[in-house]
Amino acid sequence: MRAVAPWLACALAALSLSVHAAEVPRAGPPAVPPDDATGDIISAYRAAMARYVGEQPGYEMPAYRAELDDALARQDMWRITDLTKQHVVDLPSLSAQANWERLVVYTGAPASMAYVYADSLWTMGQTLENSARDTPAQAEALAAQADQVRQTAVAHALYAVAVAEVESRRCRDAEALVFWEDNVRRGQSALWAYARSLPENVQQALLRYAHDLDIRVAPMRGPDALLCGKGRLPSAGEDVFLPQAQADRARAQTRKRLSTLLAPWVRPK
């Protein structure tokens, strides 16, 4: 059983600090550009964020990264799923896959990709929990790691919900958000049950983490065709987006309400 990847250990340490000290861990050092920033400013910000993520200790990309990048550029989540099934066979390969997922999520990937990353973290937590049962001598340390990884998964699942809430305001179909959220609730019910079981101070820290990450990543996100197409990519000539000015106003209003919109996901039913 290999230890959790060093980059994840750093993330867990930051998250643990936020839980105990009620501080929001920062997604990265680059200063967030103003709301009206475009073009070269956003490109430079994305490059700075990518450098920050890629400079974490032990940060290795999967050998099939080019194939993942190509699939993401086409929002081909089915191809990404196929590649994952083909290459992710143990914790080290899952860690490498999660490295790529974190890189693209922190540089503006769409809602579906943000949730895939949360799901990878959740799987990693489950793997560590299983290892704790199989390794009595390390059971306590592995169980503690598993719990931290699961909390990190919840934080990023909440961020994925934030992405969907904000970016669905670009969609012509008002049911796009409902469709996405229904699938998320059904697809990972164990994660949300765990989130609802956490102490309130931990829930608050995870909510702040998600909100802070949205502040940092939102400038890099673009229209989400898969979200607005309700799980399918639009056909040629099909316009699934509202006019940009209208969408931008709605997105800005939604971001002001994110804390209220995210809270029910972790509250007991």
Residues with Cβ within 8 Å of 176's Cβ and at least 6 positions away in sequence, in order, are 168, 227, 228, 229, 230
Please give the Cα distance from 125 to 153 (Å, whole number).
8
Residues 105 and 50 sit within 8 Å (Cβ to Cβ): no
By mean pLDDT, which of 6-15, 40-49, 88-97, 190-199 is the weakest? Answer: 6-15
Whether the CA torsion 26, 68, 40, 34 is positive or negative: it is negative
Residues 68 and 80 sit within 8 Å (Cβ to Cβ): yes
Which of 164, 157, 61, 76 shows the shortest CA–CA distance to 117?
A: 157
- 29-41 mean pLDDT: 85
Burial class from Cβ neighbours inside 10 Å (0-12, 13-18, 19+) for residue 43 reads exposed
Per-residue pLDDT tens digits for 196-206: 999 999 999 99
In this structure, the number of other CB atoms found within 10 A of the CB of residue 127 comes to 18
* pTM of the complete model: 0.88
Residues 188 and 143 sit within 8 Å (Cβ to Cβ): no
Per-residue pLDDT tens digits for 118-159: 999 999 999 888 888 888 888 888 888 999 999 999 999 999
Please give the Cα distance from 68 to 1 (Å, whole number).
27
For residue 182, give the amino acid letter: D
Which of 261, 155, 169 shows the shortest CA–CA distance to 223?
A: 169
Residue 260, token pair as written in the block? 């209220």
- Domain boundaries of the chain, sorted by first residue: 6-265
